[in-house]
Amino acid sequence: MIVAETKPLDEIWRSIAPYSRVLILGCGTCMTVCGAGGEREVSFLADALRMSQARGGEHDHSLLEYTVKRQCDAEFLETFVDRSREVDAILSLGCGVGVQVVADRFPDLPVLPGNNTYFMGASSEWGVWDERCAACGDCRLADTAGVCPITRCTKGILNGPCAGAKNGKCEANKEADCAWILIYQRLERLGQLDKMRRYYPPRNFRVIPRPRRIVNKTQVSTGGNDGQVSV
Amino acid sequence: MPIENSDFELDFDTLVSAIGQAPQIPQDFRLRIGKGSTIQIDPVTLLTDRPGVFAGGDAVTGPATVTQALAAGRQAAVRIDEYLQHRYPALPKETRAALTTPLLPRTIELVRRVNRLDPPVLPAQDRTGGFAPVELIYDWKTAIDEARRCLRCGAGAEILFQDKCATCLNCLRVCPYEVPQLDASGTLQIPADQCLACGVCVAECPAKAIMLRKPYDRRQVTEELEHALRSALQTSSKPLLVGFCCQYGLFGTGSLAGLWKAASASIWIVPVLCVAKVEEEHLLRAFEMGAEGVFIAGCGAQCARENTGQWVARRIEKVRRALATLGIESERLQALPTDGEEASTVQAVQEFADRVGRLCLTAALKREVRK
């Protein structure tokens, strides 16, 4: 899932400063799970901003709170169209995708990001998130025993390990396990060490032009086919 | 008791008895009518077959006493409140007892074991000389410690809003007693009768999908806070301090209340059942509503639960970071170390009050200089 972090409060203050009525919009999926933009975070942010306002007296914003199930599908955004008419801006606590879908749906409103979106990852324990996938579009995990060298090797090398690992940790990032040592250990356990000896040619980055698009539709015939479904 | 001269006979042509023997429910009420023309209701929710319409009293039970009708009215008020807030009705005591199952062995293992405290007894040589009771009573502190062993089992948390639950697994990971479980369909279940109501998951749920059923839900903390702040703002001109204090411990006795009146600030206590139930939102709201300083004081090492201090520290840290970025001194929010002793607790509160007093003074001076 997508992992993000709420922006510092002073940055959020600066971004909403020109707008007097702001809707703080949470997202009930990834952002809730990673604790960056669920209903609790929405009310924490609103409370913090209100408190600062009550004490400082420099700002005068009215803040609305709302959390949708998922910001990245426009249908969910229809549930607060009425409220959107009462505000001057939307502060989205969605990921980068959510912010853009909201902006697309509300062309007449400024949509501000409240989060910094970082990566796709997994939680290794409560409250700790690690990057696991770079969405490179050319998955090689079968050759690397389910450990991704693109994301987990700091250098992203396809033929490892380099000579820089020390005590199983990366020389460039002493916190991180060396991905290639993990790959070796798992391959050894699986009895597939021959995969270590193979050479993997450099990847062709030209196969991933941006922005990417996936079309995955079951095409429904609209006539001449007696309503039969063709795939 | 027979009443004299109350037994007599009179002659009448027609007698109309108007003593409410059977209800007459108008047709256009569109309610299901049952035996004896009474309104049919759900015995637990008191709802009729028409959504949003409740019924009680003689119209439901048939002729009964005024006391019973009054009780039905009161019960209906509770049910209507629950209905409007989308809460499940609290079951009657007998039903609740039947639903409560014994704690699972794993849960029992994880509950902190606090041994029973025996009351003091009269020394053997003193017993022969008189009729004084042999078993003496607890002193204040022992009584509190003994009472605190109770964990109020079966008053647990519950995922009340499954549609909000993002299955983030926070509750499963933070529960000190390993109560939440994933069922086969991947849905999180918190068996309320296994839950020990520590409140950690309620505060840590990012979707606000978990509620404590009874006796203390988040709404009540908010209500207590607002009540304290409203009363405080009306009564005092001293800097206002708000303390979230555990009701299970020293703060529950009320023995400290008098001492705080002498403090240099006006101190208002928001009683909570275990400080693990205090959420970041409550802390922020206290500041928003005019508190100059906020402290949390639990039971320290005497807490009946594990790691309460760690949760408090985590939430304080988060709010302090927010305070710092908003230009408010983070020292205004503090967890006070308490060891359950009256004197040291009062001293800690007093020191905190002095610190906040100094911060207020500095802030006021800074404002003047800027002007």
The structural domains of chain B, ordered by start, are 27-84 (no CATH), 157-213 (3.30.70.20), 217-370 (3.40.50)
pLDDT of residue A26 exceeding 90, the answer is: yes
Residue in A with minimal Cα distance to B209: A39
Q: What pLDDT sits at residue B89?
A: 66
| Strand-pair category, A89-92 with A21-27 | parallel
Question: Can you tell me the ipTM of this complex?
Answer: 0.76
The alpha-carbon gap from B300 to the nearest alpha carbon of chain A, in Å, equals: 24
Residue in A with minimal Cα distance to B206: A40
Interchain proximity A56–B327, CB inside 8 Å: yes
**For B21-29, what is the mean pLDDT?**
85
Q: What pLDDT sits at residue B88?
A: 64
Across A218-222, B147-151, B325-329, which has the greatest mean pLDDT? B325-329
Query: Would you call B311 helix, strand, or coil by DSSP?
Result: helix
Interchain proximity A51–B168, CB inside 8 Å: no
Per-residue pLDDT reduced to its tens digit, B221-260: 778 888 877 777 776 667 788 888 887 776 666 656 655 5
Residue B287: its chain A contacts at CB < 8 A? 51, 54-55
Residue B173: its chain A contacts at CB < 8 A? 125-126
Interchain proximity B173–A51, CB inside 8 Å: no
Q: What pLDDT sits at residue A227?
A: 47
Whether the CB of A47 is below 8 Å from some CB of chain B: the reply is yes
Interchain proximity A47–B174, CB inside 8 Å: no
Query: Would you call B269 helix, strand, or coil by DSSP?
Result: strand
Give me the residue from A9, A39, A52 closest to B164, CB to CB. Answer: A39
Domain with CATH 3.40.50.2300 in chain A: 2-119
**Cα gap B75→B69, rounded to integer Å:** 10
Residue whose token pair is 């460039």: A172
Per-residue pLDDT reduced to its tens digit, A87-138: 999 999 999 999 999 999 999 999 999 999 999 999 988 889 999 998 888 8
Residue B290: its chain A contacts at CB < 8 A? 54
Across A27-36, A49-58, A203-212, B118-127, which has the greatest mean pLDDT? A27-36
Whether the CB of B288 is below 8 Å from some CB of chain A: the reply is yes
Count CB atoms within 10 A of the CB of residue A173. Answer: 12
Under 8 Å between Cβ of A183 and A145: yes
Interchain proximity A43–B205, CB inside 8 Å: no
Whether the CB of B371 is below 8 Å from some CB of chain A: the reply is no
Q: What pLDDT sits at residue A91?
A: 97
**Cα gap B302→B284, rounded to integer Å:** 27
Residue A39: its chain B contacts at CB < 8 A? 164, 206-208
Interchain proximity A44–B284, CB inside 8 Å: yes
Interchain proximity B207–A39, CB inside 8 Å: yes
**Cα gap B198→B298, rounded to integer Å:** 13
**Cα gap B109→A38, rounded to integer Å:** 33
**Cα gap B163→B181, rounded to integer Å:** 17
Whether the CB of B360 is below 8 Å from some CB of chain A: the reply is no
Give me the residue from B164, B205, B284 closest to A48, CB to CB. Answer: B284
A132-137 contacts, C-beta under 8 A, 24 or more apart: A136/A203, A136/A208, A137/A207, A137/A208, A137/A212
Structure-block tokens of residue B267: 């101190």
CATH number of A2-119: 3.40.50.2300
**Cα gap B337→B250, rounded to integer Å:** 13
Where is average pLDDT lowest: A207-211, B25-29, B75-79? A207-211
Under 8 Å between Cβ of A170 and A178: yes
